Each structure stands twice: as C-alpha cells, then as structure tokens.
Structure 1
Amino acid sequence: MPHSNTDSNQIKEVFPYLRTRDAAAAIKFYQRAFGAVEDFRLTEPGGRIGHAELKFGSATIMVSDEYPEYGIYAPTASTPTGSAIHLHVQDVDAMTQEAVQAGASLIMEPADQFYGERAAKIRDPFGHEWLLGSHIEDVTHEEMQRRFDAMFEEDSPEH
C-alpha cells in the first residue's frame, strides 16, 4: 500500500550521517577540503565525538566517531561505503584540487559528463566517497537518456 504524506508524518528534512574512525580529524578535513562550517558538537569526556553537525552551504551533514557497542562502524578499505555524497560546487576543478591537497584520494579526474555537469570523484581519508559537480549545460531528461544509451552502444562489442 502506498504511503500517504499527511501533515503528521511528512518528511521535513534529510541529513546524511557519516560515521568515522576519527571524527575530529574528519571535521578538520571537511573544513579544509570543502569549506564546511561546524555548527554543533557533542564530545565525550574521553574525546570521542558522539555527534557533530557541519554546514556544507545550506545543507547539513552529521558526523560521529564509531560506536561499535551500538553497531555503528566507519567504512574500511575492505568494506567501502555503499553511498556517496554529491556536492554541487561553483568550480569542480578548484574544489577537487583543494580536496586532494587536504588529503583526499582522486578517483576520477574532473571531466565533462553526458548529464550536463563537469564532475569528479574523490575518497576522503575516512573512506567516504564524494561526487563533486559543476553545472555546464541544461540537459532534458530525454536528451540525458539518449546520451546514456549512446554510451552503452559505443561500449558494446559490435562497435
């Protein structure tokens, strides 16, 4: 049965939540690489960060240290994250360079993409993937699908 959005159960906001092995270092990295601004932090007496909120432009991303006792784990090299965060930025080339200089690993160099963005992909030192993109052209959904289909035709064994 489809879910109905009544006033009492309507989604108001969505917040990505990153789990890391060193939240304090991750926060510093996100500040250097992306210009994130820390809004709020809860820190245990021993230093473990239970919760932090960072502003990435108008969006909020939450960060915490691992809490294995509650089943909260960060990505590892053998178990990478199954998600990525996409940041729309003014200048993807400059943001990519800043992120790499701050310690990110470059996964995909900035390049023009079929969907109307110049895009790059990086992995932060804490195992999270970030897609960085700058708008370069307006592309209708129909044109985007045509270009997407053409990519697979070019890659097919018959071509």
Structure 2
Amino acid sequence: MTVHDAKAAIAFYVKAFGAVELFRLVEPAGRVGHAEIRIGNTVLMMNDEYPDFGARSPGAIGGSPVAFHIAVPDADEAVEKAVAAGATLVRPVQDQFYGDRSGMVACPFGYRWFLAASKEVVSPEEMQKRWTKMLEGGQG
C-alpha cells in the first residue's frame, strides 16, 4: 500500500482497525520506505510515496480501485470505531446476501475497507440465486 503519510496511516490503522505495527524502515530524512502492520491474521506492507519508482498514493492518482475486507466479530461496532477514528462511512452496515453483515468505510489515505462479520455460510450456488433475485428486484 502506498500512502501519502505512512506514519499517520499506521497510527490511523492502529486506532481504527486495531492494527499492530510489526516494524518500519525509515530513511534519514523521515520517509517510510517499508512498514508492516497486522490486522487480524493479515499482514499489510506500506510505504510513503516514491513517485520516481511509480509508487504513488490514491490521492496522487485520483483514487484507488482497491477495497480491503476485514473479518471482524461485530461489524456494527467495527464500523462505529473506524468512523470515530476518522474514516468516512461509504455503505452502512447491513445483512448481505452472501452471509455477512458488513459495512464499508473509506480511510483518510484513499482506500476503502469492508468490515464484515460472518452470519451464515452460504454456498456459491445459493449466493448466485440470492444475487440474481436481488438484481431482479427481489430481496437477497
């Protein structure tokens, strides 16, 4: 993940998502060349911008097509915590056709985050039926 301020991003992810910083490599001038955080069981690597190497943040290129998915015990609580930490609510928490209860927030660093709690295991076949029904105007 390339961000416009890796030190601030790490602090935000700790507060919003309960991330744990594993380590960071900092240039003498202060720019973060590499950092690793863990959210749940997932390790994410990030760095400050390095335009000369093509590493530009979402803000520098007009946004990001990337959305992360975090499994949480309670989606409502997780979304509230993220918003309180400075995230923007993109999609309110609701039950999904694929078995999760989830919502989406955008962090101040240009990425979107699904915060999802599993409610039921749904087979791919059942997901397809529910999705088709939803797209045809029925309930999911």
TM-score range, shorter chain: over 0.9
Name the residue aligned to 2:92: 109
Among 21, 24, 40, which residue is 2:4 paired with? 21
Give CA-to-partner distance per residue, 1:15-67, whole Å, 9 cap, x none: xxx11000000000000001100001000111110000001122100111000
Among 46, 57, 61, which residue is 2:29 paired with? 46
Question: 1:151: Cα distance to partner?
Answer: 1.1
Name the residue aligned to 2:128: 145
CA distance in 1, matches of 2:15, 2:132: 38
Counterpart of 2:117 in structure 1: which amino acid?
S
1:93-132 paired onto structure 2 within 5 Å: 93-132=76-115
Extract unaligned runs of 5+ from structure 1: 1-17
Name the residue aligned to 2:41: 58
Give me the TM-score of the superposition, normalised by structure 1: 0.84
| Structure 1 pair 134–49 and aligned structure 2 pair: CA distance change class (3 A) | same
Question: 1:129: Cα distance to partner?
Answer: 0.7
- Answer whether contact 1:77 1:127 (CA < 8 A) is retained: no
- Answer whether contact 1:107 1:121 (CA < 8 A) is retained: yes
1:85-96 paired onto structure 2 within 5 Å: 85-96=68-79
Extract unaligned runs of 5+ from structure 2: none
Question: 1:71: Cα distance to partner?
Answer: 1.0
Aligned residues: 138
Counterpart of 2:123 in structure 1: which amino acid?
T
Bigger CA radius of gyration? 1
- Answer whether contact 1:122 1:131 (CA < 8 A) is retained: yes
Counterpart of 2:9 in structure 1: which amino acid?
A
Question: 1:77: Cα distance to partner?
Answer: 7.9
- Answer whether contact 1:105 1:122 (CA < 8 A) is retained: yes
Question: 1:141: Cα distance to partner?
Answer: 1.2
Flag as ranges the 4+ runs of structure 1 deviating above 6 A.
none
- Compute the RMSD of aligned alpha carbons: 1.3
Give CA-to-partner distance per residue, 1:91-116, whole Å, 9 cap, x none: 11111011001110100010000000
- Answer whether contact 2:4 2:59 (CA < 8 A) is retained: no
Name the residue aligned to 1:5: none
